[in-house]
Amino acid sequence: MFDAALLDLARLTLFEAEEKRLRIATAESCTGGLIAALLTHIPGSSAAFERGFVTYSNRAKSEMLGVPGDLIADRGAVSEPVARAMAEGALSNSHAHVAVSVTGVAGPGGASALKPVGLVHLACARSGRAILHQRLELGPMSRAEIRLHAVETALTLLRAMLA
């Protein structure tokens, strides 16, 4: 399902979290649970993975993560403020110490002039630290490529927050 490089990155992320006794939560939109699936593909992942939220709809982002509806209406679901709110909401609604979120346009539809296919916002939150954010502009890749690139970036952000 996942290539060797992603599996190695997942193992390393889980090892670093477990070593620091930190638990991870995910809040995913365009990746549809792929980050959680990758992490839980690794045997023993329960030592560091706490839970995952798949909040594909705007309503789910609000109901499950507490993302304000007016924030989504004003800035759009694919935006830095929403990614940040998703990460904070995953922390608030779990027993995790660190949370990563992803929201984007994986295509082929759903794009606009301001939010083209391949635009992805990720955020990583940890109590007592500034939230990390990353914006990806991946361009005309396939839906699968966009989603897998977002997964890899999410793990990279997690590792940065675990350091």
| Helix (H) or strand (E) segment spanning residue 88 | helix 80-92
Strands annotated E in the chain:
24-28, 49-54, 98-104, 119-126, 132-137
Sequence-separated (6 or more) residues with CB below 8 Å from residue 120: 30, 78, 102, 103, 104, 105, 106, 135, 136, 138, 146, 149, 150, 153
HSE (CB half, 13 Å, CA atoms) of 35?
35
User: What's the average model confidence in pLDDT over 110-135?
Assistant: 95
Whole-model pTM: value is 0.97
* Number of other residues whose CB lies within 10 A of the CB of residue 152: 18
Count the alpha carbons within 13 Å of 146 in the hemisphere toward its beta carbon: 27
pLDDT tens-place string over residues 44-99? 999 999 999 999 999 999 999 999 999 999 999 999 999 999 999 999 999 999 99
The pLDDT of residue 132: 98
**Domains along the chain with CATH numbers:** 4-162 (3.90.950.20)
Segment 115-142 mean pLDDT: 96
Tally of residues, the chain? 163
